[in-house]
Amino acid sequence: MKNALRNKRRALLSVSSVAVSLFLLVTLQVALRELTLPPPSAGAELRVAVRNKISLTNPLPVRQRPIIEKIPGVQSVSPFTWFGGHFKNEEGMSFAQFAMDPTKLQSVFGEAKMSIEGYEKFAATKDACVIGKITADKYHLKVGDRITLDSTIYPGSLAFEIAGIYSGTPDDRNMLFRQDYLDESIGTPGYVGMWWLKVKSADDMAPVIKAINAVFENTSAEVRAESERNFQLGFISMLGNVKTLIGSISTVVVFTLVLVSASTMSMAVRERFRELAILKALGFRRRELFAFILAESFGLAVAGALLGIGGAYFLFTYGDIGKMTQGIFVSFEVTPRIMGYAALVAAVLGIVSAIAPSLSVARMSVVAGLKTLD
């Protein structure tokens, strides 16, 4: 303990470098998990996404809907069209907006909990919309308020009256409004962005997906039907190979941390060559000296790990991650597996950092060590 804290500034900087690096490592791993493993929602195992086979941006004709509804195993079908609106002249979009069939909200997205009055008003009022609780809280919106969105896709803007506020989904930020209102406003009905549908049972999932893909094969608007999970992962893949990018950054962080820690330990041990030589002369064996150095290196690494991993856990668990990430992430869960991975890195770091100085001490003779200046 005395040796580790002999140079308090160096010890503080060493612990801080380990803490910051492990904090960054945990952050990267959590971000990777959130991007590549989106949280499953209730009922997702029975939902199917149907999009244009060429691209997600290519629309689908509305004439497909009655055909899909007749396929055995299909329970409910709703259009789902991206609006891309800006709220209050914001440069970016902090929440997404989709047009759909208001009568199918409960049957297709049953996990979205809202008052009965909200469902009824959404179905009865053409310019009605429903918004997620996160967005409502962020902008201090309530039922009955009117909002206007300027679309980046369609000409002009649309005004809406908030009919209800829903919650209970993995992402309570989106806004939903009526497809017929969008069709009437843009003056070109007949196309939708994609279809979302609910099947009757898990056994119907594979046959329904196969049937939908087959029925529109070789048509002017071929489709790609897939489970909600596969659709989410496919959408994420459009961001590029995020996993490789974050993995590469994590590797660089760990490698740099090893170099810094090994250099720090080598410097600390080099300053104590005379003391270690005296211990050798008194009869201390190599493995005992190695144990001293390892304990010091491991202790500094553990102290940094407690600060870095613990800090990340408390910040992301009890902090407002939506505000910290400008709405990019809704949740940022530091799982036991990620904490264990970071702790393992810290343990390996403590061991590796002690190897080089331990070898130097092992090769050092007592006479050479005694000649070393303080």
Helices (H) and strands (E) in the chain, counts: 14, 12
Q: Tell me which of 1 and 140 has the higher pLDDT.
A: 140
Question: For residue 68, which of 56, 57, 80 has the smallest C-alpha distance?
Answer: 80
CA angle at 299 for the pair 298 and 304, rounded to the nearest 5°? 100
CA torsion through residues 301, 303, 308, 310, sign: positive
HSE, CB side, 13 Å, CA atoms: give it for residue 53: 13
Is pLDDT larger for residue 339 or for residue 366? 339
CA end-to-end span of the chain: 19
Residue range 237-247: mean pLDDT, rounded: 74
Note the pLDDT of residue 24.
93
For residue 189, pLDDT over 90 is answered with no
Contacts of residues 322-330 at CB distance under 8 Å and 24 or more positions apart, as own/partner, are 322/134, 322/138, 326/92, 326/94, 327/94, 327/95, 327/138, 327/173, 329/31, 329/34, 330/134, 330/170, 330/171, 330/172, 330/173
- Residue 157 to residue 86: CA distance in whole angstroms: 9
Residue with tokens 């039922």: 143
Which residue, chain included where needed, has tokens 């297709």? 108
Q: Which amino acid is at 62?
A: V
The pair of structure tokens assigned to 184 is 């009437």
Length of the chain equals 374
Q: Return the DSSP state at 227.
A: E
**C-alpha torsion 180→181→184→188, nearest 10:** -70
pLDDT, position 340: 94
Residue 240 has pLDDT above 70, yes or no: no
Interatomic CA distance for residues 275 and 263, integer angstroms: 20
Alpha-carbon distance of 147 to 141, in angstroms, equals 9
Tell me the pLDDT band of 212, cut-offs 50, 70 and 90. very high
CA angle 344, 30, 131 (to 5 degrees): 160
pLDDT tens across 136-167, in order?
Answer: 988 899 999 999 998 888 887 899 999 999 99
From residue 310, alpha-carbon distances to 27, 32, 140, 255, 320 in Å are 12, 19, 33, 21, 17
CB 100 within 8 A of CB 178: yes
Spell out the domain ranges in the chain: 8-38+240-371, 54-221
| pTM of the shown model | 0.70
Average pLDDT over residues 197-221: 92
Residue 84: pLDDT band (50, 70, 90) is: confident
Using DSSP's 3-state secondary structure scheme, residue 49 falls into strand
Q: In the prediction, which pLDDT does 73 show?
A: 94
Question: Tens digit of pLDDT for each residue in 286-334?
Answer: 788 888 888 888 888 899 999 999 999 999 888 877 677 766 676 788 9
Give the per-residue pLDDT at 156: 79
Given a contact cutoff of 8 angstroms between Cβ atoms, the answer to whether 150 and 85 are in contact is yes
Banded pLDDT at 182 (limits 50, 70, 90): very high
